[in-house]
Amino acid sequence: MNDIRLRAELHMANLCSAAGALGPLIAPEYFVSSQVPVKPHPLQSTEHVIALQLGNAYFLLCLLGLGILNTTKDPKVVRAYIWALLIADVTHVGISSWGVGLEHATRVQRWGVVDGGNIGFTAWLFLMRCLYLLGLFGGNRVPEKAVKIT
């Protein structure tokens, strides 16, 4: 049971990355227009490409998480991975808040779906990663069924 719970906790990052990839890949115009409080507009080619590249980067994070969490038995590797995600959470919330403006970022009732993901959900992930690193989910364990790559 602990192995199942641990896998669920660690793979949350992968699900979030996959979900984060869907917005810019499926609806780049909506995704870009939702980043700042302006009216939607037809995307310039550079905006379209950047949205698709961001979606691809989220997908890459998902693949890296799957690879790391399913192949290592070393708690140090898992902790390093969680630390990297935690630091990226801080910068992601900071950049997203700067982009929409501090006044909008602090008015949760005005958030759209993209704001909720970029600021709210990422802040929640930051909290969960902090709790994991503090050992509140059960110490430094990795899934027992991880495959060792030689």
Could you read off the pLDDT of 77-135 as tens digits, one per residue? 888 998 999 999 999 999 989 988 899 899 999 888 888 888 998 899 899 889 988 98
What burial class does residue 104 get, using C-beta atoms within 10 Å of its C-beta: 0-12 exposed, 13-18 middle, 19+ buried?
middle
Closest by Cα among 41, 15, 13, 23 to 96: 23
pLDDT in tens, 6-44: 566 666 666 777 777 787 888 888 877 777 666 667 888
pTM: 0.73
Indicate the domain borders of the chain.
2-133
pLDDT at res. 27: 81
Cβ contacts of 132 within 8 Å, gap of 6 or more: 9, 82
